[in-house]
Structure 1
Amino acid sequence: MRLAFILDPLANIKIDKDSSYVMMREAASRQHTIYTLQQSDLAWKNQQVIGFARSLTLINSPDHTHCWYAEGATEVIPLNQFDAVLMRKDPPFDTEYLYSTYLLEQAEHQGAYVINSPRAIRDYNEKLATIEFPEFIPPSLITSQAQPLLEFLAEHEDIILKPLDGMGGASIFRVQTTDHNINVIIETLTRYGTRTIMAQRFLPEIRDGDKRILLIDGKPVGYALARIPKPGETRGNLAAGGTGKAQPLSARDSAISKALGKILPKRGLFLVGLDIIGDYLTEINVTSPTGMQEITNQTGVNVAGLMIDALEKNCSAR
């Protein structure tokens, strides 16, 4: 297969943690050809969506961190000439990201196989998407207005407030009724009532970890990565200092995964990261879900291998 990965700059990739890196390495080990692009390498020219793509050769280095790749010369390749195009650009989901999804959707119309589907990425805000499954989520509120947020706090006494466009635990606040800063927190997050945010009842089960479950073509990996907050912290995100611990799926984890696994692939969501705290679904990650390396390193399950297995199967069926 010829695979194109749309990524952040290669020099910024942390290969000891990055899931795109292990997917590329797994694909290369099977003699598939890897190309990389950045978001700015997408273009529409001569009535085709093209990519200014570079072939990628993965190199083993003594410390496994430096000089890990060699890029070929830039080639102009229509996206429909790749067997699959994997959109793995990290958020923020800004205007440029939005434009990329439009170009990628047009590439789909021209026969390209894009993972995840650009329309699905646009439709699935990673926090708002959870409200489609109310039976699995904690008590939640979505609004830009202060009064409903204050009423939600009065009802639940201990809540989480978070923006809809954040990642890595950024700008997430835990607020209790005794907090004297609640008004300024609401003003700051909602930008004085002009930005919509999400409130959720605080889940004390966060102490046991914010579980990341990877769905590959609707099937869950057998282990979740529980991201356990550091002492004094309420966020389990690894970017916020959390510690990842792989653990088998609970019965509730499996039930949520099974229910969403029947729906999401039909919408073009091939690789998805479900975030579950305790028994509750809190986010559906569709842009660049990660966690593969941590699960593999702790359990021996080759998660990237499962991904490439599924990709090979789907590409051969096209």
Structure 2
Amino acid sequence: MRASAIADTFAGRLLDWFDSHGRHDLPWQHPRSPYRVWLSEVMLQQTQVKTAAPYFERFVAALPSLPALAAAPLDDVLALWSGLGYYSRARNLHRAAQQCMSAHSGELPRDLDALLALPGIGRSTAAAILAQAWGDRHAILDGNVKRVLARFHGIEGWPRSPTIERQLWAVAEQHLPNDRLADYTQAQMDLGATICTRARPLCAKCPMAGDCVAYVHDRTAELPTRKPAKAVPRREARIMWLEDDDGRVLLQKRPPVGIWASLWTLPQAEDEIGMEAFIRDHVDGASGDGESLPPIAHAFSHYKLDLLPRRWRGVALRTAVQDNDQLRWIAPASLSTLGIPAPIRRLLESG
């Protein structure tokens, strides 16, 4: 079959497969409003559907509209996001909602360039919003779609390199149908997530297998090309679990930029000297070195962090140190109301 003919049938075969085997009951599909589509696309940037779905439902129950999101305190938004990770997504959502209130009459703009100007929205996310919310004709290129197209066309090279990404955008646009853009956009993501998976793809169930270069030449394990490996640095930090006589936990707010930005966490120091200085300057009644707890390994996208926790009970803030916007005592029952990094929350919930 000619390459152009294969391209012409790509969307048709994919939509036929989607009608019978695609996902039609995702919470953001009912209704598929611009706000709900946007929220789902941001959640799915780094998260699988099965993980994101309950977070989505909880989020929209608390903040059902863009104006509600814009008006909410950032702490409330981060608390709703807590445990989902990659918290810059939540901060960007909040900022983007506020910009929409001031510049777009409280609505998401139906314009690619205007969407791209909002925090946290890249080309593929903007296209997905336009295609799914309004049925506009735009190609997407998330991780699932990159994998499908790299295998189908036999495109070699790391998909996130500029040269390869340009090739993938070109073929993504080549395959666009003239109608059913919302379904087609969802179908691409569904095929990558459920059939053309990274490991052990279900090629026998794939509607594209007959024309897929990777399948025909037995190269599904090789494509798409993996990112060139490089050593991941490892760091460590001391974290201080401090409790007063009432069982309240001392939490400190992280700076507005950097790792865990604007989240509440246990006070942290890079080394023993920093930890001793924090205890000396802030705390009364912290005798000895505290109770050493098992280390916690946590991986970020660009380094690994070993957290070394210590615990003190029955302590108090020094007279000169008071609760403030950056340091406060929190009762265990109120921890769920704050955005707290997942490994810290698990530690606190362990008792």
Q: What range describes the TM-score normalised by the shorter chain of this pair?
A: under 0.3
Structure number, greater radius of gyration: 2
Higher strand share: 1
Higher helix share: 2
Scaled by the length of structure 2, what TM-score is found? 0.22
